Amino acid sequence: MRWTSLLLAFAAVASASAQSSQRTFVRINQLGYLPDGPKTAVACSLDSTTITSFTLQDNEGRIVFGPRKAIRAGSFAACASTHRLDFSAFHKPGRFVIVAGGAASPPVIISAQAYEGAADTLLVYMRQQRSGFNTVVKDSIHKLDGRIVDHPTRTNEFINVSGGWADASDYLQYVTTSANATFVMLMAYRDNPKAFGDNFDARGLAGANGVPDVLDEAKHGLDWLLRMYPGGEDMFNQLADDRDHMYFDFPWRDSSDYGWGKGKDRPVYPCTGKPQGLFKAKNRSTGYASTAGKYAAAFGIAAAVFRKTDPEFAKTLRERALAAYRLGRQHPGVCQTAPAVSPYFYEEDNWHDDMELGAASLVNATGDRHFLGDALNEARQEPVTPWMGKDTARHYQWYPWHNNGHYEIWRNASAGEKAQMAAFYRKGLEAVVARAGNGFRVGIPFIWCSTNLMTSFATQAYLYRKMTGDNRFREYEAAALDWVLGANPWGVSMIIGLPADGNFAHDPHAVITSRMGLQLTGGMLDGPVYRSIYQNLKGIALHNADEYAPFNTGFIVYHDDVGDYSTDEPIMDGTANLTYLFAAMAAGH
Ligand SMILES: [Ca+2]
Ligand SMILES: [Ca+2]
């Protein structure tokens, strides 16, 4: 019997004997810890209790570290008491178990290779989300994308905007999330190219093609973005709308009827600079810049990445980046996603961050330094992404979840400007950390898509550390990443299938899983939300008994249930957003 099986057997015996009497649970980063990085587990007890010490044991039950003091850290959510179990001082690679308060942790991996391949695992989900040629059915889907709506002169005209990614478990497609996803994957590759492998071709099918898979994926995004913004004055922003939610269909059998017949053409929305919504619900759009800046950023960074390998493609990207940026300058303001029959939309209220990132990306794409001045002006309009330090925010109100623009400026700036960009990041991090005095060291608001916020906080903290060498937020950066990978009250990795032998969602809100049994490996879940959000969203009901009920008694909830689209839905842009951090961790940072 292998060591892992032994351990599982031990865990099964322990849990069977404890059953309902088990009240303390040791939560860990299930993917693993870097030997020289911060290493902390969190004991969550359902009763108010005091744990004095913990030990780290090897596969034969020998104590290899400790007993060390368990740090009492108060209550958090369903955990009546929490204790921090810090084993950072232990550096030896291997598989271990943490024992505290009579409870044993899942296997604790300490390895310099803990994150190897993790960024590529996220891409598995991205490939499954592809529209155009879809890797699950190995055929083209959504062939009638799409027909223009809400346009002064072109309404009803068909244009080819096939491709891109479905946003989540529905099949809507947004430029705001897709352009950000494309940007982050390119940034991840540019900064840590060795973290990515080549096992799939351009269509997303198995088989190497001489191109890192992350670039294949980014190219799939770019091809769609180039269709959605063909240049000129018309800038498209969205494909399909919430009439999609009428059916819980497979993507290749989408029965949605947008007025042209079931499963027929889907609507394409342009930015208009005015409130949009074909029916009663309207968004609050005011301009183009939030979308235009993201186009410019994705095209701009891509022009730099592809300059050597595909100069012709790079030239197209550079020209399109310039055209998109110019349109953003002409139409300041936000271009929000358009609601149809439901009142929900992505309520993005900021656009300086997007124009900043667009301008900063144009510095590298064109070599023209005047864009750096533009970028700095925009950066000073919004130094801190506004959700940081707050209790709540509207849905996607401050998006992207962190501002990569400050880092992109920093790469090209003078010493004084570099210091200013670092100070902007520091201010946001301080605001979150001020709320993170709990046992899990988390200070984000638990609004919808909390895993995205957790990832973005950790990424900003990492970028700050990279820019300054200042380690003051390192504990919080690690805590946020650990949370995503299982160090949370539920002991659930928020990434499906990661690690493969870990505890993750088996019943996500996704038709491909619920009807085909296909695991959406790599998909990042929205994650826990405030109980009040869960209770007030329309149409949510659990389909099965809640296996995490004991951990859902507090102010935040998470359910592994196909009926809970608020916490258990995998989401494309969050998944892509994590590629950067995983690639950086794989590189040993
Ligand atoms: Ca490839
Ligand atoms: Ca924005």
CA 200 to centroid of ligand 1, rounded, Å: 4
Tell me which residues of the chain have a pLDDT lower than 70: 1-20
Q: How far apart are CA 122 and CA 120, in angstroms?
A: 5
Q: Which residues, in sequence order, are CB contacts of 545 under 8 Å at separation 6+?
A: none
Q: Count Cα atoms within 13 angstroms, Cβ side, for 530.
A: 13
Under DSSP, the state recorded for 551 is G
- 3-class secondary structure per residue, 400-430: CCCCCHHHHHHCCCCHHHHHHHHHHHHHHHH
- Give the model's pLDDT for residue 20: 64
- Give the model's pLDDT for residue 18: 43
Q: How far apart are CA 176 and CA 477, in angstroms?
A: 26
Ligand nearest to the CA of 217: 1
N- to C-terminal Cα separation, the chain: 35
CA 173 to centroid of ligand 1, rounded, Å: 24
- Give the model's pLDDT for residue 12: 39
- Give the model's pLDDT for residue 3: 34
CA 151 to centroid of ligand 2, rounded, Å: 23
**Position of tokens 């209550």?**
75
**Position of tokens 């969550």?**
44
Q: Which of 185, 197, 195 is nearest to 588 (CA)?
A: 195
> Which residues have a beta carbon within 5 Å of ligand 2, which is an ion?
290, 350, 353-354
CA 221 to centroid of ligand 1, rounded, Å: 14
Q: Judge residue 199's burial from the number of C-beta atoms within 10 Å of its C-beta, 0-12 exposed, 13-18 middle, 19 or more buried.
A: middle
Ligand nearest to the CA of 397: 2
Q: Are 375 and 311 in contact (CB under 8 A)?
A: no
The tens digit of pLDDT for each residue in 94-132 reads 999 999 999 999 999 999 999 999 999 999 999 999 999
Rounded-to-10 torsion of CA 31, 36, 38, 42: 50
CA 361 to centroid of ligand 1, rounded, Å: 25
CA 296 to centroid of ligand 1, rounded, Å: 25
CA 328 to centroid of ligand 2, rounded, Å: 12
Q: How far apart are CA 182 and CA 273, in angstroms?
A: 24
C-alpha distances (whole Å) from 467 to each of 186, 293, 360, 430, 588 are 19, 24, 16, 16, 16
CA 441 to centroid of ligand 2, rounded, Å: 27
CA angle (214 as vertex; 408, 401 as ends), nearest 5: 45
Ligand nearest to the CA of 399: 2
- Regarding beta strands 145-148 and 266-270, do their DSSP bridges make them parallel or antiparallel, or are they unpaired? parallel
CA 350 to centroid of ligand 2, rounded, Å: 4
Main-chain phi, psi angles of 190, to 5 degrees: -55, -40
Cα 14 off chain centre by: 34
Indicate the pTM of the whole model: 0.96
The tens digit of pLDDT for each residue in 35-66 reads 999 999 999 999 999 999 999 999 999 999 99
